[in-house]
Amino acid sequence: MRYRGIYRFMAGFVRTDSSVGSAMGVFASDGEARKRACRLLRRGRAVGAVLCLFDGAGMVGVLTCGSAGGGKSALPSTWFRTASISKMVTAALAHGLKHRGLLDMDADVSDLLGFPLRAPKWPHVPITAAMLLSHTAAVRDTDVLFHPEYSLSEAAERLSFTGEEPGKAFNYSNEGAALLGAALEKAAGEDLDAILAREFGSVGTYFPSRLPADAQLSDGIRILPRRKTLFSGSAESRAASAAPRRPGENWNRAHGGLCLRAEGLAGIARALMTDDKYREMRLEVIPMGKRDPWITEGKGLFVLRYPESGGRVIYGHQGLAYGAAHGVFFDPGSQRGALILTSGCSLCREYVLTDLNRALIAEYLAPPEEGVWKKR
């Protein structure tokens, strides 16, 4: 609590540019909506951001502000490395493969990975794809993901596990989500980008080196210490990033490497909100417990009951990396959604969600008679 208060106090001195770079839809036609959105981004100390509203029919409004780094403004066409929002999309790909008959979510994933994935204390309990995407596989994060040069078998030798029985306890795991990506590639016989394209079209890439040369990929900028760039989205850094391997060997991309633009992420979230194929993702699996009393982990989605949602159950995911914070949230009942992609902002939070993402939910996913939705 004390350190959060200090961070909030220090962040209050950070200057950010919340002036509108571009506005479309409701933000272009409604001056009050534009003003409130800028106020939200200013409170969140966003260095640069793309804020997007969508419903079951399509895009409702897009607003951009600030810098994407490298002397360039954040634009609707700016690409962002979406961090842990990648896990939500990877889970959607798993459900898509299940729908196509290519993946048994409840079968032993060892058969796909090509090695026995077992918690040492529970050698007779199979670990499944469903466990990996719901963070109940007992896989513990280590430094393995910082070694993309490892092959899948080399990474497997360095895995660590909690003492809990797989399927019985929540333990958020980047490495578990990364392994799921490799399993999906083995099941489909093609790499993650090809699976993504089959499911949602050519909306993004898990491999920054595949972005077009003229694509603008946002930097990751930490506001404290002020504006220190932690991730460069330059063409040079993208070209130097890890090249795609053959299907089944791309084990370190599915947890956080997916690059998307706001429109692409909105399209994916809209599908999760409206298509019955993904309804199972909203089934509640296990509470996050002390990590966050307001969130239950679903089959690839956060199930949120934050006070800011006005009593509504909200679904979505958050992504944090390199000083940037992203969030995408939707309400299937009212068919409304909101997302934000940033180049950097305040990372202050009490539990899992940042203050900015909680404010996003309060502003746009509270009861439908409030805010910009009242005028639709």
192-200 and 262-274 helices, crossing angle to 10°: 60
Q: Residues 112, 54: one domain?
A: no
Region 52-77: mean pLDDT is 95
Q: Residues 220, 175: one domain?
A: no
* Residue 2 binned pLDDT confidence (cut-offs 50, 70, 90): low
Token pair for 262: 């706001």
Q: Residues 182, 328: one domain?
A: no
Counting the structural domains of the chain, the total is 2
- Would 13 be classed as within a structural domain? yes
- Would 338 be classed as within a structural domain? yes
At 174 the pLDDT is: 97
Question: Is the confidence at residue 9, as pLDDT, over 90?
Answer: no
pLDDT in tens, 349-358: 999 999 999 9
- Would 244 be classed as within a structural domain? no
Question: Is the confidence at residue 91, as pLDDT, over 60?
Answer: yes
At 43 the pLDDT is: 93
Q: Give the residues across from 329 on adjacent strands.
A: 316, 338
Q: Which domain holds residue 114?
A: 88-199
- Would 242 be classed as within a structural domain? no
Q: Residues 46, 121: one domain?
A: no
- Would 83 be classed as within a structural domain? no
Region 344-348: mean pLDDT is 95
pLDDT in tens, 216-265: 999 999 998 878 899 999 999 998 887 899 999 999 999 999 999 999 99
* Residue 3 binned pLDDT confidence (cut-offs 50, 70, 90): low
Q: What span, in angstroms and rounded, lies between the C-alpha atoms of 66 and 49?
A: 6
Look up the pTM and report it: 0.96
* Residue 103 binned pLDDT confidence (cut-offs 50, 70, 90): very high
Q: Residues 151, 280: one domain?
A: no
The mean predicted confidence, pLDDT, of the chain is 93
| Cβ atoms of 249 and 155 closer than 8 Å | no
Region 161-177: mean pLDDT is 97
- For the chain, the straight-line distance linking the first and the last C-alpha, in angstroms and rounded, comes to 40
At 12 the pLDDT is: 74
Region 263-271: mean pLDDT is 98
Q: Residues 176, 94: one domain?
A: yes
CATH number at 194 reads: 3.40.710.10
Question: Is the confidence at residue 279, as pLDDT, over 70?
Answer: yes
Q: Residues 155, 192: one domain?
A: yes
Tokens 């979505």 correspond to: 316
